[in-house]
C-alpha cells in the first residue's frame, strides 16, 4: 500500500493483481510505503479505513482517494494456483503441486478451506463488510494501461512497469460445474469485477 500526499491518493495492493510491479515503480516517490510483510503490503481496505486513514488524518484534513486493481475471479484463482505450485512450497500444506486446478477450486469452495486454497477474496479485500464502503476507483487487471494512465495523470510523472512476481504461465482449465459453483458462491467478487473500471473515471 502506498500513500501520495500531494495527490491525495492511496494505492492499495490487491494480491496477485500486479501489485509488486506497481509497488516497485511507485515506491521511490511515495510518502508512506507499506511493503515486505504481506500484512503490511496487502493491507485490506477495512483495516486501511480503521487505522491508516485516521493516521493520515493527523497530518491533513484532506481525505485521500483510494484506488486498486481487481482481477477476473477465475483468472485470479488461477494465478494463486500456479504461484503455489512453486518449489519453495514443496511438502507444505500450502503447495498445489500434484493437484489439478479443479481440485484447487474445490478446496477454495470448501468450508473450511484447506491451507493451499485459503487465499481470501477480492471482494473482502476491497470492501468494508459492515458498512459496504469500498475502494473508490477499482480498475480491472486487464485494463492495466488505463490504470497506469490514471496514476500518471494523478501523480504527474511517467510510470514504467516491469514484470515482477509473475506466476508461471501455463495453461489450466476448470470444469463447467465448478465454474458455475464458483460464480454462485462468490457472486460478490464477480459483481465487483463486472462493475470495475475499464478506463479512467471521467
Could you tell me the CATH number of the domain that includes residue 30? Answer: 3.40.50.300
pLDDT digits (tens, 9 = 90+) for 26-82: 999 999 999 999 999 999 999 999 999 999 999 999 999 999 999 999 999 999 999
In this structure, is residue 201 part of a structural domain?
A: no
In this structure, is residue 69 part of a structural domain?
A: yes
Q: Which residue has the higher pLDDT, 119 or 199?
A: 119
In this structure, is residue 132 part of a structural domain?
A: yes
The pTM score is 0.93
The confidence score (pLDDT) of residue 166 equals: 62
Side-chain half-sphere exposure of 54, counting CA atoms within 13 A: 5
Cβ pair 123, 135 in contact under 8 A: no
In this structure, is residue 67 part of a structural domain?
A: yes
In this structure, is residue 202 part of a structural domain?
A: no
User: In sequence order, what are the beta bridge partners of 2?
Assistant: 11, 33
Percent with pLDDT over 70 in the chain: 97
| pLDDT(17) > 70 | yes
Nearest Cα to 118, choosing from 154, 148, 93?
Answer: 93
Instruction: Give me the mean pLDDT over the 8-33 stretch.
Output: 95
DSSP per position, 19-80: HHHHHHHHGGG-SEE--SSHHHHT--HHHIIIIIHHHHTTT-SPPPEEEEEE--HHHHHHHH
Instruction: Give me the mean pLDDT over the 168-192 stretch.
Output: 94
Cβ pair 21, 164 in contact under 8 A: yes
In this prediction, residue 200 has a pLDDT band, given cuts at 50, 70 and 90, of confident
In the 8-state DSSP scheme, what is residue 136? S
The confidence score (pLDDT) of residue 199 equals: 86
In this structure, is residue 21 part of a structural domain?
A: yes
| pLDDT(165) > 60 | no
In this structure, is residue 43 part of a structural domain?
A: yes
First-to-last CA distance in the chain? Answer: 24
The confidence score (pLDDT) of residue 183 equals: 98
In this structure, is residue 152 part of a structural domain?
A: yes
**C-beta neighbour count of 143 within 10 angstroms:** 18
Number of domains in the chain: 1
d(CA 78, CA 7): 34
Average pLDDT, the chain: 94
Domain that holds residue 83: 2-195
Amino acid at each position: 500500500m502506498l500513500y501520495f500526499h500531494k495527490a491525495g491518493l492511496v494505492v492499495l495492493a490487491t494480491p496477485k493483481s500486479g501489485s509488486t510491479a506497481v509497488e516497485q515503480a511507485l515506491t521511490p516517490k511515495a510518502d508512506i510505503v507499506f511493503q515486505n510483510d504481506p500484512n503490511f503490503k496487502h493491507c485490506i481496505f477495512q483495516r486501511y479505513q480503521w487505522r491508516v486513514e485516521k493516521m493520515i488524518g493527523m497530518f491533513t484534513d484532506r481525505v485521500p482517494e483510494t484506488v486498486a486493481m481487481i482481477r477476473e475471479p477465475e483468472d485470479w484463482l488461477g494465478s494463486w494456483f500456479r504461484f503455489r505450485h512453486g518449489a519453495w512450497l514443496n511438502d507444505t500444506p500450502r503447495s498445489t503441486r500434484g493437484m489439478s486446478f479443479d481440485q484447487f477450486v474445490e478446496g477454495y469452495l470448501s468450508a473450511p478451506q484447506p491451507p493451499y486454497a485459503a487465499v481470501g477474496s477480492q471482494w473482502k479485500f476491497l470492501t468494508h463488510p459492515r458498512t459496504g464502503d469500498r475502494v473508490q476507483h477499482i480498475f480491472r487487471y486487464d485494463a492495466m494501461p488505463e490504470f497506469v494512465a490514471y496514476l500518471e495523470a494523478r501523480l504527474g510523472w511517467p510510470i514504467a512497469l516491469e514484470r515482477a512476481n509473475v506466476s508461471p504461465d501455463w495453461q489450466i482449465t476448470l470444469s463447467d460445474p465448478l465454474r458455475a459453483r464458483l460464480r454462485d458462491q462468490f457472486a460478490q467478487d464477480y459483481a465487483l469485477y463486472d462493475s470495475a473500471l475499464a478506463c479512467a473515471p471521467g
